[in-house]
Amino acid sequence: MLDFITWTVNPNMIDSFVTIRWYGAAFAVGFLIGYEIMSRIFKHEGAKEKWLGSLLIYVVVGTVIGARLGHVFFYDWAYYSQHPGDILKIWEGGLASHGGTIGIIIAILIFSKYVTKRSPLWTFDRLVIPIPFVGALIRLGNLMNHEIYGGPTELPWGFRFIDNIIPWMHGAEPIFTQPSHPTQIYEALAYLLLFGLLMWMYWKRNAERRQGLLFGVFLTILFAERFIIEFVKNVQEPWENDLIAACGMNMGQLLSVPFIILGVVMIIYAMRRPPMQIDFPNRFADAAETASKKRK
């Protein structure tokens, strides 16, 4: 057996007159599949189909802005406070998943107030079902980018990533890391398991009848997984080493703790309330309204 895996995949899926990166493709495919899953859920419950387009816009905008600002404020404020114009340069990299989560939460609060006029928990319970699948694809995009990997390991599935990835893409000889934990794969597998659990809870156990339960399970498991995997992941910024020395946790772990607590609170809240009765017409509300008008 090999003692390690040498990873030499080019981050560019297509590099011609048009450049398409694996990361961007994974992001786009994830959102398309997530949209289809949400479409089936909305149809199953008789929600309005026109809400889907608005929801997609709110989620994409909330994710991008939240993830960018999360990186700026949580990880590199010392730099961006002196170079505020660079905050807009998303194409140069720098997104934080915890910030993306906060951005989505704020977006759904606004979406619920002005679009659905329903409790935000109604949207959260359904939106969190496809999110782990999208997250798994994004982590595989990180794998293709040779980024967000872990510390050195002697395990046979350790990956040697290209450390000078940009110069290598322009013709330089590769400089490989030590065999390292492929934490992108760890997280992708964990997210896929969570996706399977949430799908089972919704389609087989009718967990959506207990408002807040799916949302709580999502937050608890996803960020507990993130907390554990962070132990073998490299720090994103050098100053995090001082944080680890002070409290034994890096920034990713510290940011995960409030989400885990919120998730547990939501599970307790949901299980203490009686389940709701929900009709499942398996038809979009828009279609039902149109059919009713035609009959008149």
Can you tell me the distance from the alpha carbon of 181 to that of 268, in angstroms, rounded to the nearest whole number? 35
Note the pLDDT of residue 157: 93
Q: What is the pTM of this model?
A: 0.91
pLDDT at 188: 97
The pLDDT assigned to 130 comes to 96
pLDDT digits 0-9 by tens, 247-267 = 989 999 999 999 999 999 999
Domain spans, the chain: 5-283
**What was the pLDDT predicted at 18?**
85
Average pLDDT for 74-94: 85
**Using CA atoms, how far apart are residues 91 and 267, in angstroms rounded to an integer?**
38
What is the pLDDT at residue 90?
Answer: 82
**How much is the average pLDDT of 204-228?**
97
Query: Do residues 5 and 160 lie in contact, with contact meaning Cβ atoms separated by under 8 Å?
Result: yes
Task: Note the pLDDT tens digit of each residue in 168-198.
Answer: 999 999 999 999 999 999 999 999 999 999 9
The answer, yes or no, to whether residue 37 has pLDDT greater than 80, is yes
pLDDT confidence bin for 268, thresholds 50/70/90: very high
Q: What is the mean pLDDT of the chain?
A: 92
Question: Is residue 2 very low, low, confident or very high in pLDDT (cuts 50, 70, 90)?
Answer: low
Structural contact between residues 71 and 97, judged by C-beta atoms closer than 8 angstroms? no
**Facing residues of 159 across strands?**
5, 180
Local confidence band at 201 (pLDDT 50, 70, 90 cut-offs) = very high
Q: What does the angle CA 226 – CA 232 – CA 233 come to, to the nearest 5 degrees? A: 70
Task: Tell which wins on pLDDT, 292 or 254.
Answer: 254
